[in-house]
Amino acid sequence: MVNCCCGLMTPQKQPVPLQSVEVQVDVKDHVATVVSTLLYQNKEEKPIEAVFVFPMPSEAAVCHFSAKVGQTLIVAEVKEKKQAREEYDDALSSGQQAFLLEESDQSPDIFSMSVGSLPPGESASIRLEYVTELDVQADEALRFCLPAVLNPRYQPTGTETGSVTVTSVPSSLVPYDLTFLARVQSARPISKVESNCTMDPLEFLSQDQTAASVKLAAGHKFDRDVELLIYYKDTHEPSAVVEAGQASAKAETLMGDPAVMLSLYPEFPKDIMSSVSSSGEFVFLLDRSGSMSGGRIASARDTLLLLLKSLPMGCFFNIYSFGSTFEQIFPESVEYKQETMEEALKKVEMMQANLGGTEILAPLERIYSQNCIPNQPRQLFVFTDGEVGNTKEVINLVKSNSGSHRCFSFGIGEGASTALINGLAKEGGGHAQFITGSDRMQPKVIQSLRFAMQPAVVDISVKWDLPKGVSATVLSPPLTSIFQGQRSLLYAQLTGQNKEAAEGCVTVKYSLAGRPTENKLNFSLKPTEETGLTVHRLAARSLIRSLEQGQGDRRGQIDDAKKKKIIDLSVQSGVSSSFTAFIAVNKTSGEAIQGPLLRRNVPVPMMMACSMPMPRMAACSKSMPRRAACSMPMRMMADCDMPIMNACRAAPAPPGVPESKAKRDPLLELVSLQKASGCWELEPALAKAVGKTSKDLEDKQPSAAKKEVWATILALVWLHGLKADAKDEWELLVMKAVTWLQSQNGNFSAEDIIIPIYRHSLLFSDHGIAITIRLPVDLP
C-alpha cells in the first residue's frame, strides 16, 4: 500500500477520496426533491475503490444516480442487485470505471456507494437524487431532515452482518465539506423556516411569500443531522396533486398513466375529541443501551414521570427496558393506582444506560407473549436511539402482532434509524416522533399519549367517485390508523379517460367510538404542471415498500414471485428497492487491474454518547431585521451529563451527587408530587416546589376547603400561571386533577378553577400574576 500524506486523511492517516458534498433541496408543499453532488478525487499513485456508506430517509425514493468523469457523463440504470454487483466487479477487473449504489440488506435507511477504479489524479462528480415526503410535526411544521450522522448499528448475536461496513469517526474529524441550499415553494404563504443548524437569513423570492430560499452557514461540523422546520399558513388543508404519466412509458402502466397523491387531514367530531379514554393497557419499552447514556436516559426518565402521572385511573400499565438483556418492572401489566405508580417511579428513578447493546427483539417477543387484558386496548410506546442491525426482523414482528395493539415510537438523538422508528409506528398502527437537537421529548410524547387515548378508528374504507371510464388503482397500503389533525397520504394510478368530466371525489369512511364518520375531498383531474414525475416515484416507492414488508416471514424473506414483481416495478419506475441497485459503467478502454484495487472507506460522522443539545435557529428573512436568534453564535453546553432534551430546564448533578438526585426542574418537581388520583397534598414539598413556605399556603387556605382540595387548586393555579408555556406537557394530568376535584362534590370545570382577573392577587402576585379563584358554595 502506498502511503500518501497529501489530500484528505483519516485519523489513521489513510487518504480519503471524498472532497465535498453539495446538497440542494427543492420543497414543494409537503414533498422534497433532494439532489446531492459528491466530488471524489484520487490523489494516490494507484487506482482506488472508494466506498461511502451513508444514511438516507427510510421513505425516500432514490430515482437518479450518475457520474461525470472529465467530460463524460455516465447515467446509472436500475438492475437486479446480484446482476448489478456482477457487472460492477467485471468492470473493475477489466479496468473500466464503475459506480454502484445499493440499499443495505438490513435496513432501507442505509445506502452504500462504491466508486471503482478511479485512476491516479482523476476526479469524479457523483450526482444522487431522491424524493421524499415531509412529516407533519405537533406544531404543524413540516420537517425535512438531511441525515448527516450514521451511528454504528448494533448487530444482535447470531444474526448475519450483511455486506455493508460502516467506517465512523468523531464528527470533528470528518475530512470533507458540506454545502446546503433549500428552496421552498407552496401555494400557501411561508410563515417561517427554523433549523437546528446555523443558517443564513431566509430570502423570500416572491412578494406573496410563497417562495423562499435558505442556506446552511459555512463551517458545518457534521455533529448533527441538518433539520429544517417549514411553517406554512393553513397547513392542515386537504389537497390533491394529479400528475401526468411519462410520455415514453406504455399506457396502463404505473409510469404511463396519471398518478394522484391525496393529502387527507381527518377532522373528528368535537364532542368525541373533548373526552379521553379511561381504559387501556399502556406498555412502555425504554432503550437502556450504552448509546442512551448521559442526557438521553435522563430525559427519558423525566418523560416516564410525566407519562405515569398522566395515565387515567382504571387503566393498566407496565414498563420494560432493554439492552443486551431486558428487564420489566412487573411480571405482567398491573392496575394503575397509587401503590403501583409509586413502585414504578422508584425503579424509573434508578434507571441508567447500563444494559449493553441494543437487542429490542426479545423484549418485544415477551410483551407480545402476554395475554391482552379484556376491554383494555394495548398501547405500546417504544423509546430508542434506533441503532439496531436487524430492523426488518423487528418491524415484521410488530406487523405480525398489529391486530392486538397500537405502537407509538420515538427516535432519540442524531442518527436514529428512520426505517426502524417509522416502520414500528406504521406497521403498529401508531405514530412516530423524532427528538433531536434541543427538542424536548416530553411534549411530543404527551401528544402521542393523547393519540393513544383517542378512541381507535376502525372499519376504515376508501371510496373513489370518478367519471365514467376512469378508474383508480390504490398503490398505498391500506389505511390502518387515523389520528385527529394528522395527515394521511394516499397514492393511486388513474386509468382511462373522460374528457368531459374534470373532477373526482374520494371519501374516507370509518367508525369512531361506535359512530359512523366520513371525510370527503373533491379534486380536479387536470394534471399539475412541472411536477417532474415526483408523484409517480413516491407512488412507486410506496408500492415497493408495501410489497417488501407484506406477506414475508418474520425475518423478511419474500417468495420469488413477489421478489420478481418488486424488481420489475423498481426497474420500470427507476426507483431503488432492497432487491435492486443502480449500476453505471464507463465503457471506455481500460487496462486490466493487476492485483486488488486499494479500497478506501470514506468515514462518516459518529455522534458521541454525550451529545450536546443544539438550540433551534430561526432562518430570518433578509427583508426583516435579523433577530438575535439568527445572528448569535450557538451556545455549546459543556457538561455532557446535562439532559439532552432539557438543557434549559434542569441543571446537571454536582460532583458526587447521583444523577437522579440532581436539582429537578420545578415543573417536574411539582408533577412528581401529584397522586395517582390526580390530587396534591398540602405538604412542605408542595410549598417548596411552588416557591413558597408551608405557612404561606396554610394562611391563604379557605376555611371551607379540605387540604387536598386547596393543595390541588394551588398546583393548578401555579401551572396555569407560571408554566403556561409547557401546557402541552401537563394538560393531561391537569384534566385528571379537575376530574378529581369534580368528584369532591365541587361541580368544578377548568374555567371555574382558573380565572385570570386582574383585580386582586392570590399568593403568586410576586411573580406578576393576579388570579382569582371562584369557589362553588358547596365546596367541602
Grid cell locating 520: 370527503
Grid cell locating 374: 379484556
Cα dihedral 495→499→503→509 (10° resolution): -30
Report residue 674 CA to chain centroid gap.
31
Pairing assessment for the beta strands 405-412 and 316-322 based on DSSP bridges: unpaired
Query: What are the E-state strand segments in 119-258?
Result: 123-133, 135-136, 142-146, 168-170, 177-185, 190-195, 203-204, 211-215, 226-232, 239-243
How many angstroms separate the CA atoms of 678 and 667, rounded?
Answer: 16
How many angstroms separate the CA atoms of 322 and 465, rounded?
Answer: 49
pLDDT at 651: 38
Report residue 233 CA to chain centroid gap.
22
273's CB contacts (< 8 A; 6+ apart) are 454, 484
Show the CA angle centred on residue 666, arms to residues 662 and 667, nearest 5°: 120
Whether the pTM exceeds 0.95: the reply is: no
pLDDT at 17: 80
Cβ atoms of 230 and 142 within 8 Å: the answer is yes
pLDDT at 176: 77
pLDDT at 558: 77
Cα dihedral 297→302→306→311 (10° resolution): 40
pLDDT at 474: 94
| DSSP 8-state class, residue 746 | I
pLDDT at 612: 36
- Phi/psi of residue 243, nearest 5 degrees: -120, 130
Of the candidates 582, 489, 503, which has an alpha carbon nearest to the alpha carbon of residue 535? 489
Of the candidates 76, 82, 159, 142, which has an alpha carbon nearest to the alpha carbon of residue 113? 76
Tallying the residues shown for the chain, one arrives at 780
How many angstroms separate the CA atoms of 78 and 406, rounded?
Answer: 36
19's CB contacts (< 8 A; 6+ apart) are 8, 39, 40, 41, 176, 177
Which residues of the chain are under the pLDDT cut of 70? 1-16, 149-172, 223, 235-236, 273-278, 387, 437, 485, 500-501, 531, 550-557, 588-600, 602-663, 745-780
Instruction: Count other Cβ atoms within 10 Å, centred on residue 760.
Output: 9
How many angstroms separate the CA atoms of 272 and 28, rounded?
Answer: 34
pLDDT at 3: 36
Residue located via cell numbers 438516507: 56
Cβ atoms of 776 and 748 within 8 Å: the answer is yes
Show the CA angle centred on residue 539, arms to residues 213 and 576, nearest 5°: 85
Of the candidates 474, 446, 453, 471, which has an alpha carbon nearest to the alpha carbon of residue 462? 474
